[in-house]
């Protein structure tokens, strides 16, 4: 199923002064205030197709317009301008557990809420065990919802909302519910729906989760589309966006290419581009800024070939105090690493900023500037993303 969003805008009105509130009351709502706030501005994109399904992620800073977009796509809120075209049935999961009654049991909530979702009573009775199995709540089926934890309620809501496939499924932060095992069940369900032709749109703040799940990611900022493309490239665009907005006042000049250097060397100090899993290495950063940088943090990050974060750390997390880099003087930082990574292609980058993360006064954020490869040890082949240096002991009676 294909979704086409063309020139979509959403504007909210509010009151600039108290007398406007009085006027709105006396006009029975015909007057809605003079202050305007745009949540979406001329947003256009396409997702899905007639031939196959897609999982599209949407990410962006707070206030980017992510939830507003989902509310418009679900039909809850009308747009101020533009159009949305989609010729299929739509189901939205904007707030898991909404409509559940704390006094009813899990089984009763499935039945009564399912009727509100448009399922027939026979459908729900036939699907009851399947829904409870997916949520892993069979033992609590006849327990009042008031005894459920928040995570249990969310699992029940998700299982009910997705037990039947829809052409367009809209999800707001649903991947944040439950434990890791439940998240994997959610992801498998999304993939099943995609294979059957569904378009799934997932809004989230967990970039790494979206990169692992989605076919493409749409990056929003202040109601506008900044990027739409592969998860790896979207992740880089998102990190660049955070760095660009990290200064409260005017952004400071970023470090120039000639002011830094990055090397990956082995234990003997030799530059290498191919390592064996478990081998020792040093990621060496040389900084020689053209002006004083005070109270700084320096971080490193390694991405795999898909752009997913394999590892990241910084000087603050390693217990180092704030760092000072005088103008014109070279400083070398050496991050010692054991490359316990799975076989494949990787790339290293680094950052220079204040505070614990690069969301504060970021002078440099560079992704994927130093590529390298990891090979499996010849005497101990393995699969996966990490090399855990496994061993095996067998004991008998």
For residue 190, being part of any structural domain is answered with: yes
Closest CA to 226 of 63, 275, 35, 217: 217
How far apart (Å, rounded) are the C-alpha atoms in residues 38 and 34? 13
How far apart (Å, rounded) are the C-alpha atoms in residues 8 and 224? 10
Q: Are residues 202 and 277 in the same domain?
A: no
Residue 158 belongs to domain with CATH number? 3.40.50.300
For residue 97, being part of any structural domain is answered with: yes
What is the span of the domain harbouring residue 296? 255-375
Q: Which of 243, 263, 294 is the last residue of a domain?
A: 243
Q: Which of 202, 219, 243 is the last residue of a domain?
A: 243
Q: Are residues 193 and 335 in the same domain?
A: no
Q: Are residues 135 and 211 in the same domain?
A: yes
- Give the chain's domain count: 2
Q: Which of 194, 222, 243 is the last residue of a domain?
A: 243
Could you tell me if 140 and 148 are in contact, meaning their C-beta atoms sit under 8 angstroms apart?
Answer: yes
For residue 98, being part of any structural domain is answered with: yes
Q: Are residues 84 and 232 in the same domain?
A: yes
Q: Are residues 180 and 62 in the same domain?
A: yes
Q: Are residues 285 and 229 in the same domain?
A: no
Q: Which residues of 98-136 are buried (b: 16+ CB within 10 A; e: fewer)?
A: eebeeebbbbbbbbebbeeeebeeeebeebbeebbebbb
Q: Are residues 227 and 275 in the same domain?
A: no
Predicted confidence pLDDT, tens digits, the chain (397 residues): 799 999 999 987 665 666 666 666 656 555 565 566 788 999 999 999 888 899 999 999 988 999 999 999 998 899 999 999 998 889 888 776 667 899 999 999 999 988 887 889 999 999 999 999 999 999 999 999 999 988 888 889 889 888 899 999 999 876 665 677 888 888 999 999 999 999 999 998 888 889 989 999 999 999 999 999 999 999 999 999 999 889 887 778 889 999 999 999 999 999 999 999 999 999 999 999 999 999 999 999 999 998 889 999 999 999 999 999 999 999 999 999 999 999 999 999 999 999 999 888 999 999 999 999 999 998 888 888 899 988 889 998 7
Helix (H) or strand (E) holding 92: strand 90-93
Could you tell me if 341 and 386 are in contact, meaning their C-beta atoms sit under 8 angstroms apart?
Answer: yes
CA dihedral 97, 102, 105, 110 (to 10 degrees): -30
Query: What is the pTM (predicted TM-score) of this model?
Result: 0.86
How far apart (Å, rounded) are the C-alpha atoms in residues 56 and 307? 16
How far apart (Å, rounded) are the C-alpha atoms in residues 47 and 3? 5
């Amino acid at each position: 199923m294909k979704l086409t969003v063309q020139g979509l805008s959403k504007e909210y009105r509010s009151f600039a002064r108290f007398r406007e509130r009085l006027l709105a009351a006396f006009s029975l709502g015909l007057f809605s205030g003079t202050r305007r706030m745009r949540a979406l501005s001329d947003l256009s994109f396409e997702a899905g197709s007639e031939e196959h399904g897609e999982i599209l992620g949407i990410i962006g800073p707070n206030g980017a317009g992510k939830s507003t977009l989902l509310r418009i796509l679900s039909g809850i809120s009308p747009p101020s301008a533009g159009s949305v075209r989609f010729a299929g049935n739509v189901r939205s999961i904007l707030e898991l557990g909404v409509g559940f009654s704390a006094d009813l049991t899990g089984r009763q909530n499935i039945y009564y809420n399912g009727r509100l979702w448009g399922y027939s009573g026979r459908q729900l009775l036939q699907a009851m065990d399947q829904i409870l199995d997916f949520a892993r709540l069979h033992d609590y089926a006849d327990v009042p919802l008031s005894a459920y934890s928040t995570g249990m309620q969310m699992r029940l809501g998700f299982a009910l909302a997705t037990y039947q496939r829809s052409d367009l499924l809209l999800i707001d932060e649903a991947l944040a519910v439950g434990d890791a095992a439940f998240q994997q069940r959610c992801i498998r369900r999304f993939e099943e729906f995609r294979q059957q032709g569904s378009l799934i749109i997932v809004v989230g703040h967990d970039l790494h989760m979206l990169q692992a799940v989605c076919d493409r990611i749409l990056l929003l900022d202040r109601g506008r589309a900044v990027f739409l493309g592969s998860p790896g490239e979207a992740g880089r665009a998102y990190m660049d966006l955070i760095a660009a907005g990290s200064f409260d006042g005017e952004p400071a000049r970023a470090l120039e290419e000639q002011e830094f250097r990055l090397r990956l060397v082995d234990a003997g100090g030799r530059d290498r581009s191919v390592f064996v899993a478990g081998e020792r290495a040093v990621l060496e950063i040389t900084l020689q800024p053209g002006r004083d940088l005070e109270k700084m943090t320096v971080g490193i990050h390694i991405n795999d070939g898909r752009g997913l974060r394999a590892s990241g750390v910084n000087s603050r997390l390693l217990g180092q105090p704030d760092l000072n880099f005088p103008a014109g003087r070279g400083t070398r930082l050496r991050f010692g690493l054991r490359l316990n990574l799975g076989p494949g292609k990787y790339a290293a980058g680094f950052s220079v900023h204040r505070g614990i993360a690069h969301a504060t006064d970021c002078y440099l954020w560079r992704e994927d500037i130093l590529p390298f490869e990891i090979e499996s040890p010849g005497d101990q082949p393995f699969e996966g993303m990490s090399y855990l240096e496994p061993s095996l002991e067998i004991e008998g009676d």
